[in-house]
Structure 1
Amino acid sequence: MKNIIITGTSRGIGLELAKICADAGHRVLALSRNDKPVSEQGHPNITAFPFDLCNESDLKKLDTFISETWGRVDILINNAGKLVNKPFMEISPQEFEEVYRVNVFGVAEMIRRVIPHMPKEGHVVTISSMGGVQGSVKFPGLAAYSSSKGAVITLTELLAEEYKETGPSFNVLALGAVQTEMLEEAFPGYKAPLSATEMASYIFDFALSGNHYYNGKLLQVSNSTP
């Protein structure tokens, strides 16, 4: 049994991932601002509470839970994300900053809070996007989102180097098109080749064993454009 923290569990991949991990017998802490969808599952292996990864009091609540309830975290999956789809000149400075607060600063702070409780064989998996990969196809309107997803790719590489002697391992998955609410927001009407459940199953398997083969690596998980 692993202790697994997943952010962004109110819908899409995160919600499916929480259910898959719990059904496999692992203990899951499911974190999202709206905890109702996952709490309503009533799964005995899932703990959930409202959580904003940009809120200091919520982060302290996370600290307390880890220290007093689990003591150890085996896997952290940074899945939460914020997307703004607007032409660059129409994105306000506040909107640009908010995307980075969730997609970059929030990811960094989650890692900062969790790694003191992770063993050497622990695994931090951050969910990025093909839009954040250098040389991939880019789409207008996603300047804030895609650039933030590029930032966490580099962050992952740096942390893997910094913690290579002590652990945990750090890897990042750049996802292509998956049929989720966020995809519909970015590309209205586009039909993706993969469902949220299918991608969640892949992420689950990778989170459990990927660190045996990879550290500090970007894996492109896409069979389509976008």
Structure 2
Amino acid sequence: MKNILITGCSSGIGLETAKLLDASGIKVYATARKQEDVEKLKELGLKAFLLDVTNEKHIKTMLEQIYSIDGKIDAVFNNAGFGQPGAVEDITVPVLKEQFETNVFGMHEVTRQTLVYMRKQGYGKIIQHSSVLGIISLKFRGAYNCSKYAIEGLADTLRLELSNTNISVSTINTGPVTSKFRENALKNFRKNIDIENSAFSEVYKKELKERLENDKDDTPFNLPASSVANVVLKILESSKPKPRYYVTKATYLLGFLKRILSTSLLDKILNKI
């Protein structure tokens, strides 16, 4: 039986992926950062464990546990991450560091430690969850944009470095997908952005706050979280996974425009989104 470690399973994409893979006969190690979320995962019948990707000891213990039980680690889906909205000039260095701690450094440490086992066994699949915002940038998402751009650089480089091994690296570029991402982003926005004293105060109040508070899935090209879960299953079942997978028409469209348009023309389009 194949096994996989999935980070960030408290809700949305991580949760749906864990449920789908478990139902498909794959042994899933579903993890979450908070114990209450771990208990909820267990209530759903999943094998759930506590894992904070910013804690190196947590990662080490989790991987040791998997290897001691199964004697292998077939795959890892680095899904844990969050969004920090706000204009670049309103993002303080500590807030930017916090964004990178989970989205980039946590993902990197999980990958780095997992590779020790995959090197030992001679095979494995690494799946990195990026975003359409790792391909193009949108305003007021600077912290998140650059964290995803960093993932792209790490994944592309790692894929080249592992090209002569049986360890694959696949990047998933997800567009608008139904999850609690927006809800959590709103909390971070309120917590870390000085709305009243920002040069974008009026924009925040009229547009950004309203968009984040909108709980309707009316974003163009929006897909359910299961759309990403299906891609992860496809990667696990493939003998030769592709290096990159786009999810949602928005990702395909914006990825295409990034390739064919000048930077100035693309900026005009992105400024309208």
2:17–2:226 CA contact under 8 A, matched in 1? yes
Taking the aligned partners of 1:94 and 1:41, their CA distance within structure 2 comes to 36
Out of 184-193 and 31-40, give the one that drifted further.
Answer: 184-193
Pairwise CA RMSD: 2.0
**Match in the other structure for 2:50:** 50
Using the size of structure 1 for normalisation, the TM-score is: 0.88
Unaligned regions of 5+ residues in structure 1, if any? Answer: none
1:179–1:191 CA contact under 8 A, matched in 2? no
After TM superposition, where is structure 1 displaced by more than 4 Å over at least 4 residues in a row?
none
**Match in the other structure for 1:194:** 223
Using the size of structure 2 for normalisation, the TM-score is: 0.73
Taking the aligned partners of 1:4 and 1:219, their CA distance within structure 2 comes to 18
**Match in the other structure for 1:124:** 126
* 1:59-78 equivalent positions in 2, closer than 5 A: 59-78=59-78
Q: Deviations over 1:13-54 (max 9, x none)?
A: 1001001111111111111112233122124xx2x2221111
**Match in the other structure for 1:173:** 172
1:10–1:36 CA contact under 8 A, matched in 2? no
Larger proportion of helix = 2
**Match in the other structure for 2:40:** 37
Taking the aligned partners of 2:100 and 2:13, their CA distance within structure 1 comes to 20
Unaligned regions of 5+ residues in structure 2, if any? Answer: 187-210, 255-272
Deviation of 1:177 after TM superposition, in Å, equals 0.6
What is the aligned-residue identity percentage? 30
Q: In the superposition, relative to structure 1, how do residues 63 and 96 fare at CA in structure 2: closer, same or farther (>3 Å)?
A: same
Taking the aligned partners of 1:72 and 1:213, their CA distance within structure 2 comes to 19
Larger Rg: 2
Opposite residue 199 of structure 1, the aligned amino acid is: V
Opposite residue 222 of structure 1, the aligned amino acid is: T
Out of 177-186 and 32-41, give the one that drifted further.
Answer: 177-186
Task: Note if 1:111 corresponds to 2:137.
Answer: no
**Match in the other structure for 2:245:** 219
Taking the aligned partners of 1:140 and 1:8, their CA distance within structure 2 comes to 26
Q: In the superposition, relative to structure 1, how do residues 58 and 85 fare at CA in structure 2: closer, same or farther (>3 Å)?
A: same
**Match in the other structure for 2:200:** none
Taking the aligned partners of 1:173 and 1:67, their CA distance within structure 2 comes to 26
Out of 176-185 and 92-101, give the one that drifted further.
Answer: 176-185
Task: Note if 1:147 corresponds to 2:174.
Answer: no
Taking the aligned partners of 1:73 and 1:208, their CA distance within structure 2 comes to 15
Deviation of 1:112 after TM superposition, in Å, equals 1.2
Please point out which of 193, 203, 209 is paired with 2:232: 203
Opposite residue 38 of structure 1, the aligned amino acid is: L
Deviation of 1:102 after TM superposition, in Å, equals 0.8
Task: Note if 1:83 corresponds to 2:111.
Answer: no
Deviation of 1:213 after TM superposition, in Å, equals 4.5
